[in-house]
A = this chain, B = another copy of it.
Amino acid sequence: MPIMTNPTSTADKILQCARSLIIAGGYNGFSYADIAEVVGIRKASIHHHFPSKVDLVRTLLEQYREEAKAGIAALERYNPDPADQLRAYTDYWATCIADPTSAFCVCALLASQIPVLPPEIVVEVRAHFRTLSAWLTAVLEEGATQERFVLSGTARSEAEGFVAGVHGAMLSARAYGDDKVFKVVTDSLIERLMADRS
């Protein structure tokens, strides 16, 4: 096992390409042939790195979840205020939505297809949702303790509402083909939590 792989190794290119293809059309919306064409290798070479499609997507999701956790950690480090954390989170997605290759949460997109997904994929998707809602629950609790937020229900139920609102806003942005609706919805999601609203 090499100490470090090439920063943009073939395996990484394959994963990156597969990710953007899933974001466009989900698990059954892309094939090894699609990846081969974009990356510039043959189908068989992809199978060398990822024997099966499930291996590829599972690896991709493990990597995505790690990135998400690292992103959340960084975001917490730079934003001590809970409200700023929520804003940083929705702002991050607002910029993602402008780029077609990253305009949707991979796990949110796959979640919609859970009934036809291999079980190994479902567990990763489910785990991401739990991570997200656990983090948001903690942020809302912290904000409530600091009296920056006013929660109508439990932190947990408000967090689930926030997750649902963000994912639904991604969906609406895609449906209308209009990025602005995402910002409108998520801004109001944060605004209604604020204690200083008049």
Residues of A within 8 A of B (CB): 24-26, 28-29, 100, 104, 107-109, 111-116, 125-126, 129-130, 152-153, 157-158, 160-161, 163-169, 171-172, 174-177, 181, 184-185, 188-189, 191-192, 197
Q: Are B161 and A111 in contact (CB under 8 A)?
A: no
User: Apart from A114-B177, A161-B184, what 11 extra A-B contacts exist at CB < 8 Å?
Assistant: A26-B29, A107-B175, A111-B172, A112-B174, A114-B175, A115-B174, A152-B197, A158-B188, A163-B168, A164-B165, A165-B168
Decide: A160 near B185, CB < 8 A? Known: A171-B168, A192-B152. Answer: yes
Q: Which of B164, B169, B176 contacts A169 (CB 8 A)?
A: B164
Q: Which chain B positions have C-beta within 8 A of A129?
A: 172, 175-176
Q: Which chain B positions have C-beta within 8 A of A174?
A: 111-112, 114-115
Q: Which chain B positions have C-beta within 8 A of A192?
A: 152, 192
Q: Which of B24, B152, B191 contacts A188 (CB 8 A)?
A: B152
Cα separation A192 to B197 with both chains bound (whole Å): 14
Q: Which of B100, B167, B197 contacts A172 (CB 8 A)?
A: B167
Q: Which chain B positions have C-beta within 8 A of A113?
A: 24-26, 29
